[in-house]
Structure 1
Amino acid sequence: MSLVVASAVAGLALLALGGAPGAHAASLLEKNFWLSGPNYSGVVPACEDQQALDLIATRFAETERMYWASALSITGFERVHEIAFRPWGPEYQPRRYCKGTVFTNDARKRAIYYSIIEDGGFIGASWGVEWCVVGLDRSYAYAPSCKMAGP
């Protein structure tokens, strides 16, 4: 009886090993059904681009007003410079990481970290920005001290 059980187990093992379908390439349908992979150009504005800085200032003031009932706003930028561009390689979504100093309307200077992201805008139609002002990350999204906003 044990010989029959052993033969059955061996037969199932051989069937499992030999009968398993191998991996094969994507079919023509899979390749042509909008699954071509990321096609990034790597073209994102520079850190000093005024349009990017204006977008950060506008959205910062809007966030302060809507979520924190604050009239705080950014009044200026200084010492803005790039700290990394595509730090993980060309196959990842292009991001330009930047650092600078902002002046706010409460007469204080604060460090800011931000990234400009290809296809990061509204529904991926344009570039977008993510930012963190040190000391004003009230939701701790980039804690500690905006460290997670960097590369």
Structure 2
Amino acid sequence: MRNGSNFLKTLGATCGAVLGLLAIGAPAHAANPLEMNFWLSGPKYDGRVAPCEAALPTISHDFQEKESTFWNSALTITGYANIHEIAFRPWQSDNIPRRYCTGSVMVSDGKVRTVNFSIIEDGGFAGYGQGVEFCVVGLDRNWAYNPACRAAKP
């Protein structure tokens, strides 16, 4: 039994030494042109982002779903006013294109609040379609865009 144990220790040490030499023996090389261009094209953003008004149905639906699911609230958005763009691609051009918008919403509790939102190219589920991120001032209960939804702006 002792000979088998010694053999395994020796085999393990030898394999470790061989793997260590292989790891430090070969230098790393840069990708060749085929490797750089074959299925590694990266994202191609066109800057085609819908206008601000296109996001309003999504905001209404997601707001109602969030309020009822997470906050046990019956609040809904009943109307919009003064929706306008405040920025489009505010950073350098190689970032994901976003259109930032703001406006007023009437909530079912009778209060008028400000909504800040962005429409993101290829920001939908699994990168398909446009995504929408929004924040209604005064109803950011988990403080995701705190303070006062400022983080939802550019």
**Cα distance in structure 1, aligned partners of 2:75 and 2:82:** 21
Name the residue aligned to 1:110. Answer: 113
SS, match of residue 53 in structure 2: coil
1:46 and 2:51 matched:
yes
TM-score, normalised relative to structure 2: 0.78
**Cα distance in structure 2, aligned partners of 1:118 and 1:142:** 20
Q: Deviations over 1:25-58 (max 9, x none)?
A: x323431343222200111110122xx1001100
**Cα distance in structure 1, aligned partners of 2:112 and 2:73:** 17
SS, match of residue 110 in structure 1: strand
State the percentage of identical aligned residues.
55
Q: Deviations over 1:37-94 (max 9, x none)?
A: 2200111110122xx1001100100000000000001011100000000011220000
> Where does 1:135-146 land on structure 2 (aligned, <5 Å)?
135-146=138-149
Name the residue aligned to 1:69. Answer: 72
1:57 and 2:35 matched:
no
**Cα distance in structure 2, aligned partners of 1:63 and 1:85:** 27
Equivalent residues, number = 128
Deviation at 1:122, TM superposition (A): 1.3
SS, match of residue 63 in structure 1: helix
TM-score, normalised relative to structure 1: 0.80
Query: Any stretches of 5+ residues in structure 2 without a counterpart?
Result: 1-26
SS, match of residue 56 in structure 1: helix
Query: Any stretches of 5+ residues in structure 1 without a counterpart?
Result: 1-20
Structure 2 CA distance for partners of 1:30 and 1:62, relative to 1, 3 Å: same
